[in-house]
Structure 1
């Protein structure tokens, strides 16, 4: 009993740590895009993380079936589009709102499961889903005179992350977490390369951009590492709601650096989405 409590505490600490680290990733990514293009940022962060993981894969490669590589590809595309849309939205809406919309990924998971596995959404899931999307509506608060399309881009980042979450779980029983991350970053590097040329960007980083891009890459890798550790110590029913503290960190950076104070709609959205996550994790825990 004492050992399980200790693991739970470690899981909570790791979750808070990874949420904080990834808020710094978002902060650095927003700053980096004032110097380089979005596609260049995604390319270099993916390449750096792949290079960090490459030595760790030595002697660990195994022959994989086509079905496993198919899931690897789907997971990588999901993660790639998730980051692409997230970084893109950071340029046009406050950091806290972009982060808040990204945390809606668990709301999208049942729909991804429906698409990939043809598993219908249980009736018990509809209440938290409705509450969660009411929260999304508060964040976006569309009216005839107000509809910011960049909020929808931020919501698309949640959909990409949801694909990543579902396919990562599918891979977890077949490959190591290290392999999953390496393949993801490698494919992300390949996918972002043509976008660099389409956007008219350059493969060369200006000297002033190197520190910021390195900060994005290192914090992203560290955040992923802490994320995997958190789930190894504590169940998803604990990690998921605790990780919501990342929105608080993003709100803090937004206020301190850009003076973006969340309005009443954003605050209401936070409350509804957090309530939805709590209800969903309770349902999962009761069923587990």
Structure 2
């Protein structure tokens, strides 16, 4: 009985941590969308990376270990995936409603089987095709493409899910070899370097106007807290619980979008959100049974 009570308590903590994570990340999306009216996306990615490096470095001081070339290769792939995921997400935020950009980013679980196929040559099981088809029907209902028009920025938002899926797969590979803090700080270091390169190529300035400091700081703090809570959620509860519950973030983003910008998804988009949620729920249950 004590073991069951403890398991139920951990499950409750996992759900709470996931909901709080989703709420905090929705605030990050709001701040990122607003601040990009003044500064460029690579500049924002650079400063959020630098902030997280500063926070994480003391946690790893004196704990660094030599790693093999294979581990560093996975570190690099994970970092490029995470960097591209954020870059595409922020770019999409500039042109489409917050709830759409957030939902398309949350399609990452749908992209994971295809990333695994490319990276490990592991074919997608037949049972997985049903939730994938349901999920991508949902994506099409959200994007609502037509013969005459496809919004390229919605495609950019979907690319953020591909980048996130890539980082999810490689993070899983690293989890058996390095600590979560090491994975995060290596990611932020590479992210800072890649964003700095983009800033130099574009000729942007890294100097932040005073008016943007509160918003940039909000993005930095919420990003770090969100990643911390997400990691804690997975330590409390299985992915089959955390992944579906995290979709409450779409609701939070929808509320923010309606309250601040007056964005209200149409009936087809809402139906698409439901389709995507159920596809992830079905996939999570399949993984749990296996």
What range is the shorter-chain TM-score in? over 0.9
- Corresponding position: 1:103 with 2:81: no
Deviates more, 1:117-126 or 1:191-200: 191-200
In the aligned structure 1, how far is the partner of 2:201 from the partner of 2:104?
27
Preserved CA contact (<8 Å) 1:39 1:199: no
Aligned to 2:226: 223
Equivalent in 174, 191, 201 of residue 194 of structure 2: 191
In the aligned structure 1, how far is the partner of 2:256 from the partner of 2:243?
22
Aligned to 2:5: 2
Equivalent in 45, 57, 61 of residue 60 of structure 2: 57
Q: CA deviation at 1:265?
A: 2.0
In the aligned structure 1, how far is the partner of 2:99 from the partner of 2:279?
18
- Corresponding position: 1:90 with 2:93: yes
- Corresponding position: 1:36 with 2:36: no
- Report matched runs for 1:191-270 at 5 Å: 191-270=194-273
Q: CA deviation at 1:110?
A: 0.3
Aligned to 1:180: 183
Aligned to 1:134: 137
In the aligned structure 1, how far is the partner of 2:240 from the partner of 2:6?
18
Q: CA deviation at 1:69?
A: 0.4
Q: CA deviation at 1:194?
A: 1.3
Unmatched segments (≥5 aa) in structure 2:
none
Deviations 1:163-187 (A, max 9, x none): 0000000000000001000000010
Deviations 1:34-81 (A, max 9, x none): 111111000111111111111111111011000000000000000000
The secondary structure found in structure 1 opposite 2:123 is: coil
In the aligned structure 2, how far is the partner of 1:147 from the partner of 1:66?
42
- Corresponding position: 1:143 with 2:146: yes
Aligned to 1:115: 118
- Corresponding position: 1:157 with 2:160: yes
Q: CA deviation at 1:210?
A: 1.1
Deviations 1:176-201 (A, max 9, x none): 00100000001000000011122231
In the aligned structure 2, how far is the partner of 1:69 from the partner of 1:194?
20
What TM-score comes out, normalization by structure 2 length?
0.98
In the aligned structure 2, how far is the partner of 1:197 from the partner of 1:17?
36
Q: CA deviation at 1:117?
A: 0.7
Aligned to 1:13: 16
